[in-house]
Structure 1
């Protein structure tokens, strides 16, 4: 969804000069060594780690024939453009550098030849939150980790339980003297051989149960009872009955909690039970899109404040002419499809225009409501 969002350069004002610098910004976006959607995808790694750090690499635009990447460009106007926004993976973080006031000065990256310092002036630092000035933000998965841990363990227990119910657990008995610390080398070798054979029957952590052999009583000619071991035996242990807990319902409950922590519970509507309300789905989807729009707004703010401002400053552009990047909505594609279908229906006479339809369209398009005086006139004329 985020990769498909449209981005566009907006000029600072209506003058031709401002429009020219907005066009220059679009040129720089299209002239990088990577695509813009791939850059957005790398920025979104901050949702998992809480932060994402990019080094801004520039180039001098001297034409496409240049051999060196720092000069190669589609354009040859000798302006400074973006070569790439290079992600510095979160796993390579060595340390953060702060100034005397606690401000972030840069990142030390672990590299094969030692630590490399990347100053904040040449970087784009994206964070999910800037609370307390912490440079690593907060992962959006933090709230779901407890539910995920329990859900994963229950799924493993459920799978092992089903397997054991169907196949059983091998149970082997051996003479008690074979398990004694004083057992001979031959007896120990025999036990080891039996264990290897039993372990090959199952693939779980506890593939079998090995116990001393049971004993039985035998009366001799003098009437004395002697306890004798049964020797070797092999059998399969199965569960004594059905399980008392519905693991499927418990696992679904944890799935619900995980989805709730990410505002994506609409993904669980319907499912195998066929339940779910369209109105509820629309509300939950709108909430998810609202959160996603907030994330996109934070990304645009960092790009406008640091990437574009530094680019314009290096090219000597006055601040009053600096363009900015704006993003589209997450559901623009669905909205455009709906408008196309609506237009076809209205042209075919399948649906007619009225005040309710107009009010709904205005809300979806983010347009202001119609004036009450116009509504009164429309009602008096039959909505024509």
Structure 2
């Protein structure tokens, strides 16, 4: 049952022919022009930087593990070693060396740049060991600025990505079987995606204009304008001489006004009847602070981070409201993390399993720990869990408690176990 309809023009098309299909009317927001705009937004605006950190840091901070349910231990351990993540239900074993190894945290940080640009593209690079098994050598990031085009099939699937050639060389074509493409909110054949900052772009532009007006207002009116009033002209029947004298006084007064400065040795000498004063603005200056605060609120609202604006000057709502708003925000973070994990499962983990063991071999899944759902661990919580037998006091738990509260390591004699030491301590106390 082949497809009858299509998501892209029949045949193989490039992104240049799909611009009209995306519906983006703003030239600044059309790819690749949008890359420069989003770079400027995240580097120049503190509020934009803040909301991006609020979105990405919790996802980077949460624990990522492999769920090997239904998979052979050999396969799960191979993937865990390659990616540098732990296995669910097993203690994490850190690699002996990190130099030259694949870094999952750095890969994840670059993958989350899809939220800034709408897409983040990686090329798979493998190495083969002595036993013939393929390992992830690196997932090489291909910066959005280097992407020249997307080749898209009739059904909307990605065929290849082209990179700009360097030093006059032709474009580099990377086929889809070597790619890992993270695309934020992709619709149909739109492999450029939609940036998380797209909805905040208008607020960013308006805020930038108001900030410039505010700076000009302070510059022009902050210190006042020096004004020199000339003395009255001497009595004379010669009108031309009187005009000439006034012109000379006006020119001298202008020079004095331009050179007026404050300082220990600053001063001015004026003829009798002349005057020098600094004139400020009469009336009320326009209040630009409220407009800037409003634009900041809208930028945060674009990513459901409204709680970032609570507690500021003239802010509406209480700190108790942050719990309600924060729940929507953490739900959105969990959704983003699950989407990232889904792409890694399909185009990294399953590709490694296919290369080494074939397409019929079950593949483990990457699982991010839920964000915002962990309870605070206190001594009272541990005591209650131990009393209800939900926890068993063993060596790993003791080591965890001592490490969490900064307690010294238990001192044991050579060959002595923790249980034996406890028994001797209890006998000595008796």
Counterpart contact for 1:53–1:89, Cα < 8 Å: yes
Corresponding position of 1:204: none
| Contact 1:2/1:41 (<8 A) preserved | no
User: Which residue of structure 2 aligns with residue 221 of structure 1?
Assistant: 237
Could you tell me how far 1:276 is from its partner in structure 2? 4.8
Which residue number corresponds to residue 232 of structure 1?
Answer: 252
Q: Residue 155 of structure 1: CA displacement? A: 2.2
Whether the aligned pair in 2 keeps the contact of 1:155 and 1:251 (CA below 8 Å) is yes
- How far 1:275 sits from its partner (Å)? 7.2
Q: How far is the alpha carbon of 1:340 from its aligned partner?
A: 3.0
Match of 2:381 in 1: 343
Give the 3 Å change call, closer, same or farther, for CA 109–262 of structure 1 in structure 2: same
Does residue 60 of structure 2 align to residue 44 of structure 1? no
Match of 2:163 in 1: 109
- Cα distance between partner residues in 1 of 2:104 and 2:384: 37
Q: Is the 8 A contact 1:165 1:239 kept in 2?
A: yes
Question: Could you list the per-position Cα deviations for residues 313-355 of structure 1 after superposition, in whole angstroms to 9, with x for gaps in the alignment?
Answer: 11024535221111112235xx24x143551585999xxxxxx
Q: Deviation of residue 255 (structure 1)?
A: 0.7
* Cα deviations by residue, 1:216-262 (Å, 9 ceiling, x for unpaired): 98875377896432333232774422534322222111111111011
Q: Which moved more, 1:93-102 or 1:246-255?
A: 93-102
Paired residue for 2:152?
Answer: 98
In 2, the alpha carbon distance for the partners of 1:151 and 1:308 equals 44
> Which range moves more in the overlay, 340-349 or 19-28?
340-349
Residue 280 (structure 2) pairs with residue 260 (structure 1): no
Give the equivalent residue in structure 2 for 1:303: 344
The 8 Å contact of residues 125 and 139 in structure 2, kept in 1 or not, is answered as yes
Structure 2 partner of 1:53 = 121
User: Is the alpha carbon distance of 1:321 and 1:247 closer, same or farther for their aligned partners in structure 2, counting shifts above 3 Å?
Assistant: same
Cα RMSD, aligned residues only = 3.2
Please state if 1:327 is matched with 2:343. no
1:28-68, CA deviations, whole angstroms, 9 ceiling, x for partnerless residues?
11287332111111011111100000001111124xxxxxx
TM-score, L = length of structure 1: 0.66
The alignment of Structure 1 onto Structure 2 pairs a total of residues equal to 289
Classify the secondary structure of the residue corresponding to 1:167: coil
- Alpha-carbon distance in 1 for matches of 2:233, 2:242: 5
Q: TM-score, normalised by structure 2?
A: 0.60
Is residue 2:7 matched to residue 1:7? no
CA distance in 2, matches of 1:344, 1:277: 32
Between stretches 272-281 and 29-38, larger displacement belongs to: 272-281
Q: Which runs of 5+ in 2 are unaligned?
A: 1-57, 85-94, 259-277, 388-430
Correspondence 1:176-187 to 2 at 5 A = none
C-alpha separation in 2, matches of 1:297 and 1:241: 58
Matches of residues 254-293 of structure 1 in structure 2 within 5 Å? Answer: 254-272=295-313, 276-293=317-334
Contact 1:43–1:126, Cα closer than 8 Å, also in 2: yes
Pair 345,89 (structure 1): closer, same or farther in 2 beyond 3 Å: same
CA 1:298/1:280 → structure 2, altered by over 3 Å: closer, same or farther? same
Higher strand share: 1
Q: Which runs of 5+ in 1 are unaligned?
A: 63-76, 174-213, 350-384
2:404 is matched with none
Task: Give 1:88's match in structure 2, choosing from 115, 132, 142.
Answer: 142
In structure 1, the residue corresponding to 2:145 is in which secondary structure?
helix
* 1:186-197 map, 5 Å: none
